[in-house]
């Protein structure tokens, strides 16, 4: 349900309904009083964006945020001789992204957005630039695109760049972005913004839209010779239909006819009715590999590895029954894949060798208790063309983000930057906790409180991730560790439905939201209390999206939690089905539409058991959230108010599922701290 599912706590939130009506959209009411807050300190981190290793393995580029400016850094592959790319005064204040090295390693393409607001309904523009990697000339503009664009990718011959393009866009192409105001006649003659695969001729600057306007493209990949593209797409609306996307192949020219290669709605076997991501051609062009599985959100990728002939046919599950979750991959040869995967909350980089219809994992190159990424897909890495060198951003609960790069081997590559070397955690130690429940292995992460004293007992706040097909891994949490920094234990479980233990574990909560997953969480709390001095009478609960649902539903099933903060939650799956704009994701989880089988929806709706709630609950949501619409929060708030349970509803203006206004984000975080300080103080 949420691309913000990788966050430990919510990204941002809102103002009370009455205050939101009285105040301008840019303002938000402040809490009456604040507890002592660690937020300013926790927010101090230099952020790293895309990381790109040149194909020849000799050069490294990365994005970093210096104050309000995004800077492209260029360096040797080992990080030496780093210097900022001189982009000139025109681009200095522009946001930059999508670093893409040319196949000959001599040039670096990137995209720039110069101050266009993607939260309002004004037309946006994206510019494509090409820089000389040696810094001998200023970057030159290849194209100015009247719309939203992303995901730059070169053809192997270096003559063209492909990208995803929404002509005439007025918003970011994502279901987590703020939706358009729903006023006037709804659903008729609306201007649908269609994301298409486009190409840019580097020599002439000519832009060609390749895919038809009748389908919305989500991801794509070039064939080895650049003559064809493979992509996932579905009929519009794009925000809703990723969950029913098909895999297409077509010629890389305007007007070429798309051919359906895989349709999960009609195939048999393990992929039936599920989702696909990351279509990638084999080096000889004969096959297309992809990740397939039960995925609750576009961009939160995880599942089994599949292969299908590029001319069509039945797809083959290469990794049935594995107990890890591949999240990214690249072809490493005709019959080999380099895979980044989640293994019980840790990240592994592994080679899989393909023989016949099976892919067998070799001993991992390395395993890290950290999160890695190079931009784009989750857990992606940047590899040299020969796969002998690797680069990515890495962070953990102990170490703030740095660029790591080096030889791809049995030792994790070292940090080659020291941007955040001076930062130390403002929270206590982090440990991976494993436990068994109902025959399953379950894992989660526990942050100890700052200034931990083993002779004291502490309250604990349980933070449930979004998704549910996602997972908490060790990453620098920043403000996400505000509870541990404020004197609480902070527990982040990965219950059934999460990535990290194979596809069967991901699918174990289908038609069972709030039951088996909650039992896993409660068993995890028991496991934590056996190894840490947690006061079971001082437990709190929070989460965003699916975690927001759990923060509403769990108090209807147990009185164990003494305070809760529910972010972008769901209180009534039955009304939610008709209110949200992404209902396609629900069918694989609930088995049928609400109108065909309402029972599973009613079973997991907090509103049907709300009279059992005694837990004081803060409820927060964005007023233009398409994924978890504000009426869901209003329903729960209204019920608690009627029942006399302490509650507050805060609604932020012009915000979607993932908040974009930093003022709103900070306000939500502060309100959460204040709520727990009031009802679950860190010290007695």
pLDDT single digits (tens) 359-382: 999 999 999 999 999 998 999 999
Global confidence as pTM: 0.93
- pLDDT class of 390 with cuts at 50, 70, 90: very high
The pLDDT, as a whole number, for residue 123 is 62
Backbone angles phi, psi at 15, to 5 degrees: -115, 155
Mean pLDDT is lowest, of 231-235, 478-482, 672-676, for: 478-482
Cβ 355 vs Cβ 314: under 8 Å: no
**Average pLDDT, integer, range 55-67:** 92
Dihedral sign for Cα 574, 578, 579, 582, please: positive
Given a cut of 60, is residue 305 above it in pLDDT?
yes
β-pairing, 489-494 with 458-464? parallel
The pLDDT, as a whole number, for residue 184 is 74
Dihedral sign for Cα 202, 204, 205, 206, please: negative
Mean pLDDT is lowest, of 34-48, 98-112, 392-406, for: 34-48
Given a cut of 90, is residue 2 above it in pLDDT?
no
Given a cut of 70, is residue 121 above it in pLDDT?
no
The pLDDT > 90 percentage for the chain reads 82
Given a cut of 50, is residue 11 above it in pLDDT?
no
Lookup result for tokens 């541990």:
484
Cβ 275 vs Cβ 293: under 8 Å: yes
The pLDDT, as a whole number, for residue 22 is 27
Peptide bond into 237 cis (omega under 30): yes
**Mean per-residue pLDDT over the chain, rounded:** 91
Lookup result for tokens 């494509």:
128
**Average pLDDT, integer, range 584-588:** 96
- The model's pLDDT over 124-170, given as tens digits with 9 standing for 90+, comes to 789 999 999 887 788 999 999 999 999 999 999 999 999 999 998 88
β-pairing, 196-201 with 534-544? unpaired
**Average pLDDT, integer, range 81-109:** 92
**Average pLDDT, integer, range 324-349:** 97
The pLDDT, as a whole number, for residue 186 is 73
Nearest to 569 by CA among 607, 601, 539, 540: 607
Given a cut of 70, is residue 684 above it in pLDDT?
no
- Kindly report the number of other CB atoms within 10 A of residue 297's CB atom: 28
The pLDDT, as a whole number, for residue 376 is 87
3-state secondary structure of 306: strand
- pLDDT class of 558 with cuts at 50, 70, 90: very high
Is the model more confident about 25 or about 559? 559
Is the model more confident about 368 or about 68? 368
Given a cut of 60, is residue 5 above it in pLDDT?
no
The pLDDT, as a whole number, for residue 189 is 57
- pLDDT class of 18 with cuts at 50, 70, 90: very low
The pLDDT, as a whole number, for residue 616 is 98
**Average pLDDT, integer, range 260-283:** 98
Peptide bond into 468 cis (omega under 30): yes
Nearest to 603 by CA among 491, 499, 513: 513
The set of residues, in sequence order, having a beta carbon less than 8 Å from that of 61 and lying 6+ positions away, is 50, 51, 52, 54, 72, 73, 74, 75, 85, 99, 101, 108, 133
The pLDDT, as a whole number, for residue 539 is 98
The pLDDT > 70 percentage for the chain reads 92
**Average pLDDT, integer, range 24-41:** 55
DSSP string, 362-419: -S-SEEESSEEE-SSSTT--EE-TTSSEEEEEEE-SSS--EEEEEE-SSSPPPB---T
DSSP string, 318-341: SSTT-SSEEEEEEEEETTEEEEEE
- The model's pLDDT over 170-206, given as tens digits with 9 standing for 90+, comes to 877 777 777 777 777 777 756 689 999 999 999 999 9
The pLDDT, as a whole number, for residue 36 is 55
**Average pLDDT, integer, range 548-565:** 98
Given a cut of 50, is residue 106 above it in pLDDT?
yes
In whole angstroms, give the CA distance from residue 627 to residue 173.
14
Mean pLDDT is lowest, of 18-22, 293-297, 342-346, 442-446, for: 18-22
- pLDDT class of 625 with cuts at 50, 70, 90: very high
DSSP H helical ranges for 543-659: 546-557, 573-579, 586-590, 599-603, 630-643
């Amino acid at each position: 349900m949420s691309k913000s599912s990788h966050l430990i706590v919510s990204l941002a939130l809102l103002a009370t309904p009455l205050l939101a009506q009285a105040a301008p959209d840019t303002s938000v009411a402040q809490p009456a009083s604040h507890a002592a807050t660690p937020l300013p300190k926790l927010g101090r981190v230099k952020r790293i964006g895309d990381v790109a290793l040149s194909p020849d393995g000799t050069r490294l580029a990365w994005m970093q945020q210096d104050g309000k400016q995004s800077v492209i850094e260029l360096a040797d592959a080992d990080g030496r001789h780093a210097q900022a790319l001189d982009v000139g005064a025109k681009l200095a204040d522009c946001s930059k992204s999508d670093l893409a090295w040319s196949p000959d390693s001599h040039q670096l393409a990137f995209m720039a957005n110069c101050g266009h607001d993607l939260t309002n309904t004004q037309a946006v523009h994206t510019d494509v630039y090409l820089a000389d990697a040696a810094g001998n000339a200023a970057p030159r503009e290849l194209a100015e695109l009247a719309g939203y664009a992303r995901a730059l990718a070169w053809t192997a011959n270096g003559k063209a760049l492909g990208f995803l393009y929404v002509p005439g866009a007025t918003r970011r192409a994502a279901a987590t972005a703020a939706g358009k105001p729903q006023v006037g006649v709804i659903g008729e003659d609306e201007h649908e913004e269609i994301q298409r695969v486009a190409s840019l001729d580097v020599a002439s600057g000519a832009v060609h839209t390749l895919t038809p306007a009748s389908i919305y493209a989500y991801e794509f990949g070039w064939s080895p010779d650049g003559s064809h593209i493979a992509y996932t797409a579905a009929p519009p609306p794009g925000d809703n239909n990723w969950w029913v996307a098909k895999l297409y192949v077509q010629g890389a020219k305007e007007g070429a006819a798309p051919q359906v290669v895989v349709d999960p709605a009609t195939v048999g076997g393990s992929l039936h009715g599920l989702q696909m991501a990351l279509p990638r051609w084999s080096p000889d062009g004969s096959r297309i590999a992809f990740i397939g599985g039960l995925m609750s959100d576009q961009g939160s990728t995880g599942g089994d590895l599949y292969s299908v002939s590029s001319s069509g046919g039945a797809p083959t599950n290469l990794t049935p029954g594995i107990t890890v979750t591949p999240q990214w991959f690249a072809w490493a040869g005709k019959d080999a894949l380099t895979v980044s995967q989640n293994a019980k909350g840790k990240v592994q980089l592994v080679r899989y060798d393909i023989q016949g219809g099976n892919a067998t994992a070799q001993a991992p190159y390395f395993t890290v208790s950290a999160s890695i990424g190079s931009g784009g897909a989750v857990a992606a890495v940047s590899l040299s063309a020969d796969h002998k060198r690797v680069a990515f951003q890495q962070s953990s609960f102990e170490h703030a983000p740095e660029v790591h790069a080096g030889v791809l081997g049995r030792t994790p590559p070292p940090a080659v930057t020291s941007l955040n070397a001076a930062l130390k955690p403002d929270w206590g130690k982090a440990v991976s906790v494993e436990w068994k429940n109902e025959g399953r292995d379950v894992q989660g992460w526990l942050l100890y409180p700052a200034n931990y004293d083993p002779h004291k007992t502490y309250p604990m706040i349980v933070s449930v991730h979004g998704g549910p097909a996602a997972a908490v891994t060790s990453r620098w949490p920043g403000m996400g560790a505000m509870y541990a920094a404020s004197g609480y234990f902070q527990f982040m479980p990965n219950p059934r439905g999460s990535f990290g233990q194979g596809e069967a574990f991901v699918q174990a909560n289908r038609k069972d939201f709030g039951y088996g997953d909650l039992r896993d969480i409660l068993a995890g709390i028991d496991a934590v209390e056996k190894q840490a001095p947690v006061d079971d009478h001082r437990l709190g609960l929070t989460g965003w999206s699916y975690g927001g649902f759990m923060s509403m539903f769990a108090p209807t099933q147990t009185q164990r939690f003494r305070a809760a903060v529910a972010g972008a939650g769901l209180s009534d799956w039955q009304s939610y089905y008709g209110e949200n704009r992404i209902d396609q994701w629900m069918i694989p989880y609930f088995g049928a539409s609400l109108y065909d089988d309402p029972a599973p929806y009613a079973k997991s709706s907090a509103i049907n058991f709300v009279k059992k709630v005694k837990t004081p609950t803060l409820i927060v949501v964005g007023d233009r959230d398409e994924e978890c619409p504000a009426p869901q929060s209003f329903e729960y708030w209204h019920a608690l108010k009627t029942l006399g349970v302490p509650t507050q509803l805060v609604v932020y203006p012009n915000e979607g599922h993932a908040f974009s206004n930093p003022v709103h984000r900070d306000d939500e975080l502060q309100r959460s701290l204040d709520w727990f300080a009031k009802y679950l103080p860190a010290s007695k």
